[in-house]
Amino acid sequence: MRLAVFSDVHANLEALDAVLADSVAQGVDRHVCLGDVVGYGANPNQCIERLLALPHCSCILGNHDAAAMGIAGSMKREARYAIHWTRKVLSPESLQFLKEMQDVLTWGELLFCHSNPYRPRRWYYVSEKTYIASSFARSKAKILFVGHTHVPVAITRQNFFCVYIRSPQHRVTVPVAELNRQIFNCGSVGQPRDGDPRASYLVYDDERHQVEFYRVAYDCRLAAEKILASGLPEPFARRLIYGK
């Protein structure tokens, strides 16, 4: 199986379309979205429609998705404004899609969540040693896939060894450890924050025992212009251009 894992679309239709097209070119069998489909961007309904159209796609609840449904959570002022705007434009079908999202998904030795596996609605960032250690200690899965931080990274349990995936290449391959457990963060489709404006996602290949991190260029200026035209805060548009 070749499984595409992506997260933090944030209503960026141009980025999502580019990632989905690239994943098809990589021969994936199915997709898992790790949440935050909405928030920040100008096309929440259209992004949800794209995910609904995928033949095999599971979706995990993110904090922005939860906020769009009125579930309380801590957010900065501009993010709250974007959520208020999103609530006004979401269709009934899109709201139903958000309501059906799962907190955590487990497939055999694989676990998928937006932030952390043990308190998924506390939205911890699995980038600090405390939350990395707790994620390993309080789950049994061999491989955990997370999003939320908007930065692609591979973490191995032994000594909490972290490799941040930064490369000008289209693909970077990381082997799956035979004995150690690992956490893979797929980065962000629609709001990268590692200084690279290209959309980020990964493919897990269980036959080759590897994870392939991909960066995909897209028309980020068009996505930024649509944010501004919608009256959403300007920093959300600027982030797309600089990737941070």
Query: Which residues pair with residue 161 across a beta bridge?
Result: 156
Q: pLDDT tens, 150-186?
A: 999 999 998 778 899 999 999 999 999 988 999 999 9
Give per-residue pLDDT as tens, 51-76: 999 999 999 999 999 999 999 778 99
pTM for the structure as a whole: 0.96
pLDDT for residue 194: 96
pLDDT digits (tens, 9 = 90+) for 127-149: 988 999 999 999 999 999 999 99
CATH superfamily entry for domain 2-242 = Metallo-dependent phosphatases (3.60.21.10)
pLDDT of residue 143: 97
Contacts of residues 80-85 at CB distance under 8 Å and 24 or more positions apart, as own/partner, are 81/232, 81/233, 82/39, 82/40, 82/232, 82/233, 82/236, 83/38, 83/39, 85/230, 85/231, 85/232
